[in-house]
Structure 1
Amino acid sequence: MIVLALRYGGPVDDPKQPSQMKGPVMASVHDVAAYILAKRGEMTAMKLQKLTYYSHAWHLVWDERPLFAEPIEAWANGPVVPALYRQHRGKFSVSTIEGGDSNRLTQAEQGTVDAVVGFYGDMTAHQLSELTHSERPWADARAGMPAGARGSARITDEMMAFYYDSLTAKSTSS
C-alpha cells in the first residue's frame, strides 16, 4: 500500500481563500487538470484522470473541503471525472484542457496538487489505475460489478475523505 507521506506547508495568508472573498469560489476539474498539465506537460488522458482524482482526494483530507465540485465515477479502469472525460474523449494524450485556467487555483489548492503530482507523478497511467483498484473508494463504489464492466457508480467525497484520512492515521501511528 502506498501512503502519501508528505504534507505541503500551506499558506498562512492566502488572499484567494474563500473566507476572505465576497462569495465562495471553487476551482473546476478543468482548472485542476490545466494546472497539472502546466506542471507536468503532456500526458495520457488516463494518467491525467488519476492525478486529478488523487488531488481531489488528498485535498479533502488536508483542507477538509472538495477541490472541485464535479462528480467522480468508478469506471472499469479506475476513477474518472466524466466532465473532464468529455474534454479529452478519443484522445490518448492530452496537453491542454479547453476552459481550464490553472490560475484559478488558490495557493492551498496548488500546494495539494503539487504534493500529489510530486508523489504520484512519475507513476505510469497503468500503475495509477492498478493502485486505485487496490483502494477502497473505487472498490466499494464498484461492489457487485463484474471486472471490466461499464459502470457509473459515484465515488463520494465522504468515501475518499474517510479512506485517505485513514492512511494518514496509519502512517503517523507507525
Structure 2
Amino acid sequence: MESVNAVANEFLKLAEQTGKQLTNLQLAKLCYIAQGFSLAILNQKAFPDAIEAWKFGPVVPSLYHEFKHFQSEPITSKSIVAKSDTEFVTPEVKDENIKKVVAVVWNVYRDVSGGSLVSLTHQGNTPWSLSYEPNRNKVISDDLIKRYYTKFVGNLEQKYIDARNRTA
C-alpha cells in the first residue's frame, strides 16, 4: 500500500509527461478512482486514507487541504511530506502494481474535465451517491467502493473483449 500523497504525485507526474494539467478537483477524483480500481483488480487499497463524500464528490481530506491553495487553477507542485523536523520528501509510488493501476486510470480519464469527473461520481448508485448526506462529510466505505468498481472493471473488460472480437 502506498500513501495518498505518492498516488497523487504519480498522477501529477503522468500529467506532466503528457503535457496535461490537473486541478485539485480532478486529482481528488482520480485518486478515488485509483482506489476503486486497486480494490477491484488487486484486492487491496492503493492508500490507507479514508475517502469522504463531499458536495462535489469523493475526497481524501488531507489531499484536498494540501492543494486547496491552487483553488480551481492547475496544480504546479508535487505533494511533499515531512520525514522529520528538518527533512521533507516527495513521496513516490514504489509498488509496481499500484503504479500500473494509476497508469490505467490515467489512460482512461486523462482527458476528462473536473466537472465531468464530478458528474461521473455523482451518478445514481455510485458509492458517493449512496453515502452523501448534505453538510456531513461521511466516509465512503471501502466495501462499497470495491463492489462498485469490481462491477465497473468487469464491464470495461467485457467491452474490451467485445471490441476485440468484432475486429478479429
Q: TM-score range by the shorter chain?
A: 0.7 to 0.9
| Native 8 Å contact 1:32 1:105 kept in 2 | no
Aligned to 2:34, which of 43, 52, 55? 55
* Bigger helix fraction: 2
Aligned length: 143
User: Counterpart in 1 of 2:6?
Assistant: 31
Alignment of 1:130 with 2:119, yes or no, is yes
Aligned to 1:89, which of 68, 79, 83? 68
CA offset at residue 170 of structure 1? 4.3
Aligned to 1:163, which of 148, 151, 164? 148
Give the TM-score, by structure 1 length: 0.76
CA offset at residue 83 of structure 1? 1.3
Q: CA RMSD in A?
A: 1.7
User: Counterpart in 1 of 2:85?
Assistant: none
- Structure 2 counterparts to residues 1-174 of structure 1, below 5 A: 26-41=1-16, 42-92=21-71, 93-95=74-76, 96-99=78-81, 100-102=90-92, 104-134=93-123, 135-142=125-132, 145=133, 149-170=134-155, 172=158
CA offset at residue 73 of structure 1? 0.2
| Seq. identity, % | 27
Deviations 1:68-99 (A, max 9, x none): 00000000000000011121123223132122
| Native 8 Å contact 2:122 2:129 kept in 1 | yes
Runs of 4 or more off by more than 2 Å in structure 1? Answer: 167-174
What amino acid maps onto 2:98 in structure 1? E
Distance, in Å, in 1 between the alignment partners of 2:153 and 2:34 is 15
Structure 2's unaligned 5+ residue stretches are 82-89, 163-168
Distance, in Å, in 2 between the alignment partners of 1:130 and 1:169 is 21
Deviations 1:117-152 (A, max 9, x none): 00011100000010000152000001xx3xxx3321
Give the TM-score, by structure 2 length: 0.79
Deviates more, 1:161-170 or 1:133-142: 161-170
Distance, in Å, in 2 between the alignment partners of 1:167 and 1:62 is 11
